[in-house]
Chain A
Amino acid sequence: MSSTISSSLARKYAMAISGLFLVVFLFQHFTINLTSVISETLFNQLSHFMGNNPLIQFILQPILIFGVIFHFVMGFVLEIKNRQSRSVKYASNNGAANSTWMSRNMILSGAVVLSFLGLHFYDFWIPEMNYKYVEVLPLNPDRYFEETIHKFESPIRVSLYVISFVFLALHLMHGFASSFQSLGANNKYTRAIKGATTAFAVGIPAGFIFIALFHHLTAF
C-alpha cells in the first residue's frame, strides 16, 4: 500500500481530486461575488455568513487552505520530477503539433494564479483576519460591499485581476477536463465533459473579470 501511495498514479489522483475540490470552491466564490453586482444587501449578508459561520471559518477554511497549498506544492514537485526524467532536451521539439499550449504550460498558468492568490490574500484575507482576530473590531454586517468595491478602484489592481483570470481560464481549460481522465473517466460522456468543462473554464473566469470591471467602472 505504501508503494501505491507514492506511485505516479497516486500523484495523478491527488492532483485531480485537489483540482476538482478547488473548482467547486471557485464556483461557490463566483456565485457569491456575482451577487455584488445584483444586490449590495445580499452580498453583505452572504459575506457576513461566510466570514462568521464557525463551520466555514474553522473547518472548511483550513481544508481549503490545505487544498490550495497541496495542489500547488504537488504541482511544483511533479514539474521538477518530470523535468528530471529527460536530462538531455531535444534540439528541435514541435510540441504544438501534438498538444495544446495550455496542457504544456500548466506550471506557468498555475504560477500566475498562485501569484494572484498572494495578491488576493493581501487584499482580502489578511485584512479580514486582522479585523476579526487581531484588532477584534466590532461585528459590522454591512461593511463587506464597500470594502470590496474600494479594492477595484485601482486600474493597476483591476488589470492584474484580469490578467490573472485569463491565466486561470487557460489553467482550467486543460486541468478541469484532465482531472476526469486522471480519475479514469474516458467514455461516451468524454465529449460532453470536455464541452462542459471548457464552458466552465471560460465562463467563470470571464464572470470574475466582468465583476471586477463592473465595480471599477461604476466606482466613479
Chain B
Amino acid sequence: MNLTLKIWRQANANVKGKMETYPIENVSPDMSFLEMMDVLNEGLISKGIDPVAFDHDCREGICGMCSMYINGEAHGPDRLVTTCQLHMRKFKDGETITIEPFRANAFPVIKDLAVDRSAFDRIQHAGGFVSVNTSGNTQDANAIPIDKHDADKAFDAATCIGCGACVASCKNASAMLFVSAKVSQYALLPQGKVEATDRVLNMVKQMDEEGFGNCTNTGACEVECPKGISLENIARMNREYLGASLKG
C-alpha cells in the first residue's frame, strides 16, 4: 500500500504546531498502525528528520497509552480497538490519512502526537481507590457474597484503560465516561460502598478543576471507546452524585 500521511507536528507545548505531509510506500496491510508509524519514523531518521513522537507501550490494547486521532476518530475507524490493534487493511491503497493528537485543553500536547493525560491520574488520586487493610489480616474477597449481575457490571466498568478516547471524541472534551467507569467499578461492589459518597464528590470536583467540558449525552464516547464502556456508567454516576450531594 502507498499512503499519504498528514501528521500534526509540534515541538513542545509552548510552540504552535502544524500539519505536515509525508508519503509512505510499501506498507503491508497486515501491519498494525503503530508498526506503520515505526516504518515512517525509520525513514524520517534516515533522512535526518526528527521522528514523529507518539505514545505506546504494551501494543496489545491493554495499557491505554496509544492515543492518536485518525481520520477524525479516536483510535481510527475500527471499533473496540486501540490504535495499536488497528491494522492497515482498514485503509485503502492511495488513501490520505490524517493523524492528530487527542485534543483537549486538559490533555496538553507534549510533542507531536503525545499528550499529557496526567489529569486522569489526578482524578484517580481524588477517589478512584478503596482503602483496604493490607497488614496481613485481609479478608478473602471470595468470602463476601456479590450478586453476579453487579460483579459483571463492575468488571465491565473496570475494563476502562484510561486512554482518553472518550475525551478526544466528545465534542465538549468531557471526561464523564472515564470518571463514571471508575466510580461505577467501586460503587457496585461492597468494598467500594464504604467510601462511595466522598469518592464521587471528589472525583467529579477534580474532573471539573482539570478543565474538561460538560457531558451533553451525544454518546460519541461510548462508540469510540476501545473497551466498549457503556453510557450506563454515566447514568450511574449521575445517580451516585445526586445521592452523595443530598447526603452532604
Of B44-52, B54-62, B133-141, B235-243, the one touching chain A: B235-243
Residues of B within 8 A of A4 (CB): 201, 241, 245
Q: Which of A8, A11, A103, A182 has the most CB of B within 10 A?
A: A8
The interface size bin for chain A is: 35 or more
Which of A8, A89, A95, A178 is in CB contact (< 8 Å) with B208? Answer: A8
Shortest Cβ distance from residue A194 to the other chain B in the assembled complex, whole angstroms: 11
Which of A1, A91, A174, A184 is in CB contact (< 8 Å) with B6? Answer: A91
Residues of B within 8 A of A94 (CB): 71-73
Of A38-46, A53-61, A78-86, the one touching chain B: A78-86
Contact A12-B238, Cβ < 8 Å, known A1-B245, A89-B103: yes
Closest to A185 in B: B235
Tally of contact residues, B, Cβ under 8 A? 49
Contact A8-B204, Cβ < 8 Å, known A92-B100, A94-B72, A184-B239: yes
Interchain CA distance A95-B169 in the complex, whole Å: 8
The answer, yes or no, to whether A106 is at the interface (CB within 8 Å) is yes
Whether B242 lies near A7 (C-beta < 8 A) is no
Whether B212 lies near A85 (C-beta < 8 A) is yes
Interchain CA distance A86-B174 in the complex, whole Å: 10
The interface bits of chain B over 207-226 (1 if a CB of A lies within 8 angstroms of the residue's CB, else 0) are: 11001111111111001100
The answer, yes or no, to whether B106 is at the interface (CB within 8 Å) is yes
The answer, yes or no, to whether B82 is at the interface (CB within 8 Å) is no
Please report the number of residue pairs spanning A and B whose Cβ atoms sit closer than 8 angstroms: 132
Contact A91-B171, Cβ < 8 Å, known A104-B218, A184-B238: no
Shortest Cβ distance from residue A110 to the other chain B in the assembled complex, whole angstroms: 11
Closest to B224 in A: A98
Interchain CA distance A104-B100 in the complex, whole Å: 21
Whether A88 lies near B73 (C-beta < 8 A) is no
> In residues 39-78 of chain A, which contact B (Cβ within 8 Å)?
78
The answer, yes or no, to whether A133 is at the interface (CB within 8 Å) is no
The answer, yes or no, to whether B205 is at the interface (CB within 8 Å) is yes
Interchain CA distance A64-B174 in the complex, whole Å: 30
Q: Which of A3, A94, A185 has the most CB of B within 10 A?
A: A94
Which of A11, A100, A103, A185 is in CB contact (< 8 Å) with B214? Answer: A11
Interchain CA distance A3-B204 in the complex, whole Å: 10
Interchain CA distance A100-B242 in the complex, whole Å: 28
The answer, yes or no, to whether B248 is at the interface (CB within 8 Å) is yes
Whether A86 lies near B205 (C-beta < 8 A) is no
Which of A1, A87, A97, A174 is in CB contact (< 8 Å) with B248? Answer: A1
Query: A residues engaging B (CB < 8 A)?
Result: 1, 3-4, 7-13, 78, 81-82, 84-95, 97-100, 103-104, 106, 174, 178, 181-187
Listed A/B pairs (27) with beta-carbon separation below 8 Å = A1-B245, A1-B248, A8-B204, A8-B208, A9-B238, A11-B214, A12-B214, A12-B238, A78-B214, A82-B172, A82-B173, A82-B174, A82-B214, A85-B212, A85-B213, A86-B104, A86-B172, A92-B100, A95-B72, A98-B224, A99-B218, A99-B223, A103-B219, A106-B216, A183-B242, A184-B235, A186-B235
The 6 A-B pairs with the shortest beta carbon distances in the complex, nearest first, are A94-B72, A186-B235, A184-B239, A85-B213, A82-B172, A98-B223
